[in-house]
Amino acid sequence: MNMRIIQTPIEGLLVLEPKVFEDARGYFLESFHQQRYFEAGITTGFVQDNESKSARGVIRGLHYQLNPFAQAKLVRVIEGCVLDVAVDLRPQSPTYGDWFGIELSGSNRKQLFIPRGFAHGFSVISETAVFSYKCDNYYSPQHERGILYNDPKLNIDWKIPEGEAVVSEKDRKNDLFGTIEFQF
């Protein structure tokens, strides 16, 4: 197999390390190979790819969508470095309300598979970062919801001092974890 799969402490949330072929010219990796992902148990059918570029200190999230537009995501960083965070919103899960964070970078080339039933966000800890993600469902503004990035109940360390955080007005209005609307 051309990738290593690491189970996180939260069931279904997987770190993927693709095999990288490097030489004097640069590098090559398979960022996605449907059959290899199926063999690894990731049978999600992706329908949309997104990419963003952000400056240091930007925090995006925590976002999720309600059914029938809930989304699984496969995320990675092409350039730069982010702290990527997923919060378990599955009420029957033993890790409901827990979060997992991992540094994803253009250097480590790790990916994070986030199944449906999670909120997702990231902070940029390099000067800039180009972030790429696949989704298994289309974006639906009417079904989009969010959790406040600095919710004290979640207590996420974004690795960005609060005074340096660059957060959209929309994300500053997200709900607290204890009051969110969800159904998974």
Which is catalytic among the residues 37, 64, 120, 133? 133
Element (H, E) at 130: strand 128-135
Q: Return the bridge partners of 120, or none.
A: 63, 86
| Dihedral angle computed from the Cα positions of residues 56, 52, 59 and 111, in that order, rounded to the nearest 10 degrees | -100
Which is catalytic among the residues 37, 63, 64, 120? 63
**Cα 31 to Cα 16: distance, rounded to the nearest angstrom:** 10
For the chain, the 3-state helix, strand and coil shares in percent, each to the nearest 5, are 10, 45, 45
H-helix segments, the chain? 34-39, 169-172
143 is catalytic: no
Angle at 91 between CA 90 and CA 96, to 5 degrees: 70
133 is catalytic: yes
**Cα 152 to Cα 72: distance, rounded to the nearest angstrom:** 26
User: Helix or strand or coil: residue 182?
Assistant: coil
- Enzyme catalytic residues: 63, 133
